[in-house]
Amino acid sequence: MFSHISNITPVNFKSAWRSPSNIAFVKYWGKKGHQLPANPSLSMTLRECVTETTVNFSPAEKLAVELRLEGKREDRFALKIKNYLEGLSSEMPWIQGINLKIDTRNTFPHGAGIASSASGLSALALSLTDYIHHMIGENQNELFFQRASYLSRLASGSACRSVYGGFTTWGEANIPNASDLYATPFEVHPELAHLQDTILVISDAEKSVSSRAGHERMNEHGYAAARFIEAQKNFLDTVSAMKAGDFDRVGLILENEALQLHAMMLTSPHSFTLLRPNTLAAIELIRIFRNETKLPLYFTLDAGPNLHLIYPPEHKAKILTFIDNELNPLCQNIIYDQRGEGPLPCR
């Protein structure tokens, strides 16, 4: 993807992107090869949970990275970014001769299981792709976003899905254009095109076990093979249900996938849990509400304690009343989000 642009000369350039988080309906948990998914995943890009990142590129004698998060210098994150960029140097040797000054901030809690790595690292990859296209004189096009997704994946798997708006798949599967190397936009039934996502922030504390460490524990997990088979089935079932507009079928898979993800954590080598008592209490109240009202309100979780409540917009008023009255006491905060249109440059 980058072989024909390996010999370019770094220049001064500034790029800024606002890139969203995403919530996986079918989870990616476990890797093969170099940052490749052990099973395909499907996600919805969000609108309000975003990272805004500005990168100043300049020529340098050797690769250097300075990073500020919310205005505070973060040398630990800067080192991670430097290591990531050094990993790209076999395809892009010129990257060893640039200096990056990165200023980034989130609209939601960092490290609490709302995929801040997806939004933050996709914003960085978009800026890097912007820099590359500036140097070779190409405008933004379909290849631009495919390249950005590819670079995002190498930084954080779920980040490759944040490069596109709406719904996205990632991973080889029996559907058109599916790939392990980058994400692909996915068209759904019009009735499901504007799903809401109200996020219950049960805890905004940073996770005790990172997603990277969780993925590594799948390598020796006794149930990993069965999980990957189940994820393949759930992926194809979700694709079918979303094309058909069958949200209740999607919702049942949503919850099954979320609970399987956390079951894998509970049963992994060096077992751990990211759930909290209020997470379980909220799940029980959601199920009671759905059974009593017959309204299509379903939950999912990423690798953290915070619940994403997914539902169609036509039921928003009644569902928000329930959330505000019954679930709010269990939360530190509530984020009202929905399907988003994808990243945008900040000019």
What's the structural domain count of the chain? Answer: 1
pLDDT bracket for residue 235 (50, 70, 90): very high
- pLDDT for residue 211: 83
Please work out, in degrees rounded to the nearest 5, the angle formed at the alpha carbon of residue 306 by the alpha carbons of 302 and 307: 80
Mean pLDDT of all residues in 220-236: 96
pLDDT bracket for residue 168 (50, 70, 90): very high
Answer yes or no: is pLDDT of 2 > 80. no
**CA torsion through residues 18, 23, 26, 27, sign:** positive
- The two three-digit tokens of residue 53, written as one number: 């990142």
Mean pLDDT of all residues in 184-213: 92
The 8 Å CB, 24+ separation contacts for 291-299 are: 293/318, 293/322, 295/319, 296/247, 296/248, 296/251, 297/251, 297/322, 298/250, 298/251, 298/252, 298/254, 298/255, 299/254, 299/255, 299/258
Residue 273: give its domain's CATH number.
Answer: 3.30.230.10
Cα–Cα distance measured from residue 66 to residue 75, given in angstroms and rounded to the nearest whole number: 7
Cα–Cα distance measured from residue 289 to residue 308, given in angstroms and rounded to the nearest whole number: 16
pLDDT bracket for residue 209 (50, 70, 90): confident
Mean pLDDT of all residues in 21-32: 95
Please work out, in degrees rounded to the nearest 5, the angle formed at the alpha carbon of residue 197 by the alpha carbons of 263 and 311: 90
How confident is the model over 81-125, as pLDDT tens digits? 999 999 999 889 999 999 999 999 998 776 555 658 899 999 999
Separation of first and last alpha carbons in the chain: 27
* Half-sphere CA count of 210, side-chain side, radius 13 A: 7
Is there a contact between 178 and 171 (Cβ–Cβ < 8 Å)?
Answer: yes
Higher pLDDT, 332 or 1: 332
Containing structural domain, residue 332:
1-347
How confident is the model over 281-299, as pLDDT tens digits? 999 999 999 999 999 999 9
